[in-house]
Amino acid sequence: MNKHVFKSWIFSGLALVFLAVGCEQKAEKSDTPPNIVFIMSDDHAYQAISAYGHGLNETPNIDRIAKEGVIFTRSTVTNSICAPSRAVMLTGKHSFKNGKVDNVQPFNWDQDNFPKLLQAHGYQTALIGKIHLDGLPQGFDYSMVLPGQGHYYNPDFLVNGERKRIPGYVTEITTESALDWLENKRDKDKPFCMLYHQKAPHRNWQPAPKYLTLYDDTTFEPPFNYFDDYDGRGTAAKEQEMEIDGHARWGHDFKMIVDPNGDSTGFYNELKRMDSTQRANWLAEYTPKNEAMKAQNLQGKELAVWKFNRYIKDYLRTIKSVDDGVGEMLDYLDKNSLAENTIVVYTSDQGFYLGEHGWFDKRFMYEESFRTPLLIRYPKEIKPGTTNKKLVQNLDYAPTFLDYAGIPIPEEMQGESFRQLVSGKTDHWRDAVYYTYYEYPSVHMVKRHYGVATERYKLIHFYYDIDEWEMYDLEKDPHEMNSVYDDPEYKEVQEMMHEKLKEQRAKYGDSDENNQKFLKAYLEVYNK
Ligand code: CA
């Protein structure tokens, strides 16, 4: 071997070593666990996200997540009410397994939740905004939460358990605090998971100072079934107390300082919370509108349409600030080269009625409150512009996050990871989902019920002080105006759906005995 050949061997060898090291480094880098930004708003109806195509408002920033990722068109919750839904998301277990079946029962933070598991595997975790679960949150390196429902103006926060009042508007404060944690409070060498959870657009829909007059020049048409007479459905739909025209309050909801009946119990407490500038701004914008309304002396349907407009405008105004915040978050991730390796999720703790059936609020297994928005961006695995129509649920979030992070999913979690489904690697998915609701008697008076839904049909059983079944064919009746439960033409469907219900209850471990146990516990507190 001459010197020259030997030298070139050495060089090729070195080159190979460098190449190998380079590959290894590259492989290591792509194995870095993804970050998670889990954005949730409270009571954000999919009808009020423009990516869902209802034409009600524009949410360009939330839409960006759909354009650059996936939008789920049939994502549902297992229990359509705030705190129980959050407990399901954290634990990956149905309400009757995690114990938080209603807003009355305490949440047991000692059980496993996905942030705890991420934390145990080297993630840094933070919870910023609204969680609406009592007790010091477990599983977070940093928490900054609103106590209970929290306030829109000058809210108190519990910062790692310590109470502080922060001047300003809640949605903007929550966004600024989330960005501050990302920039200044985390260890930038670790993967992170941040729960960035907005209070808006929860009742009573107080807009930010800069959006008090947004939509002033617009008149919104109520949905076609705003004046629903509930014919075709059972007692539960007829006896609820969720009507915009019948049950929303002049002061609290419609922001009349002195209402048309001369009652001044209205909006005073909310005004007291504001500082003098905030209050002066608010009164300057709302007083003339309120006076103009009173001068018109509206009655009947005209008054009901005015109420719908006051409701929907305030609701959409609060969403404008939420959307702004999503834009700031996406921009931050872009500017800091975090977009590629960060999973961004946008969802709500349930759906919401925007005048459908005449209602506001949620609770029912009917579509508007059963369905919830879900949009996810993760450039490494999700193709831009993906639409997914499968029956995913909030039950699936915890196992999905763990799957993305490469952490084993605990046996007791009842949801399923939809990671492979959303990347298109499989089309295999469940054909039915299970639902339970327990909070009755209570505000809004939606009766206790449980049910099963497939892509086309839905079977619901209302129980306790009634014993009624309803069934809907969503293909023929997407707005659920007529139960076909007793229709002879649907005899076979009815049998099939009863069978599905039985399967679902067996699969998840639910029963009438469970319902009786939770009813007894609820009534003990309720009757006190
Ligand atoms: Ca909620």
Helix (H) or strand (E) holding 330: helix 300-335
Tell me: do 404 and 478 sit in the same domain. Answer: yes
Identify the domain containing residue 228 by its residue range. Answer: 209-309
Tell me: do 326 and 268 sit in the same domain. Answer: no
- Give me the amino acid identity at 473: D
Residue 229 lies in a domain: yes
The per-residue pLDDT for 263 is: 66
Q: Contacts by 398-401 with C-beta closer than 8 Å and gap 24+?
A: 398/89, 398/90, 398/91, 398/92, 398/113, 398/114, 399/92, 401/36, 401/38, 401/114, 401/118, 401/193, 401/343
Q: Bridge-partner residues for 434, per DSSP?
A: 452
Q: How far is the CA of 134 from the centre of ligand 1 (A)?
A: 15
Average pLDDT of span 217-226: 98
Q: How far is the CA of 350 from the centre of ligand 1 (A)?
A: 6
| Domain end residue (candidates: 266, 289, 309) | 309
Q: How far is the CA of 394 from the centre of ligand 1 (A)?
A: 13
Output the average pLDDT for the chain: 93
- Retrieve residue 363's tokens: 């609770």
Residue 461 lies in a domain: yes
Asked if residues 44 and 352 have their Cβ atoms less than 8 Å apart, the reply is yes
Q: How far is the CA of 189 from the centre of ligand 1 (A)?
A: 34
Q: How far is the CA of 303 from the centre of ligand 1 (A)?
A: 27
Q: How far is the CA of 490 from the centre of ligand 1 (A)?
A: 34
The total number of structural domains in the chain stands at 2
Check which CATH number belongs to the domain holding 359 and give it. Answer: 3.40.720.10
pLDDT of 376-418, one tens digit each? Answer: 999 999 999 999 999 999 999 999 999 999 999 999 999 999 9
- With 90 as the cut, is the pLDDT of residue 16 above it? no
Tell me: do 288 and 434 sit in the same domain. Answer: no
Q: How far is the CA of 46 from the centre of ligand 1 (A)?
A: 13
| Domain end residue (candidates: 258, 285, 309) | 309
* Pairing mode of beta strands 342-348, 374-377: antiparallel
| Domain end residue (candidates: 309, 336, 366) | 309
The per-residue pLDDT for 390 is: 98
Q: How far is the CA of 486 from the centre of ligand 1 (A)?
A: 33
pLDDT of 409-464, one tens digit each? Answer: 999 999 999 999 999 999 999 999 999 999 999 999 999 999 999 999 999 999 99
Residue 161 lies in a domain: yes
Average pLDDT of span 123-139: 96
Tell me: do 94 and 149 sit in the same domain. Answer: yes
Q: How far is the CA of 4 from the centre of ligand 1 (A)?
A: 75
Entry pTM: 0.93
Segments in 185-267 forming alpha helices (H): 235-239
Q: Which of 96-110, 246-260, 491-505 is predicted with the least confidence, judged by mean pLDDT?
A: 246-260
Confidence band, pLDDT 50/70/90 cuts, at residue 11: very low
Q: How far is the CA of 202 from the centre of ligand 1 (A)?
A: 7
Q: Is 447 exposed, middle or buried (0-12, 13-18, 19+ CB in 10 A)?
A: buried
Residue 358 lies in a domain: yes
- Retrieve residue 486's tokens: 């007793």
Helix (H) or strand (E) holding 377: strand 374-377
User: Beta-strand (E) ranges in 105-242?
Assistant: 124-129, 142-145, 156-159, 162-165, 192-198
Confidence band, pLDDT 50/70/90 cuts, at residue 265: low
Tell me: do 318 and 388 sit in the same domain. Answer: yes
Average pLDDT of span 324-329: 98
Confidence band, pLDDT 50/70/90 cuts, at residue 73: very high
CA proximity to 127, closest of 79, 62, 81, 192: 192
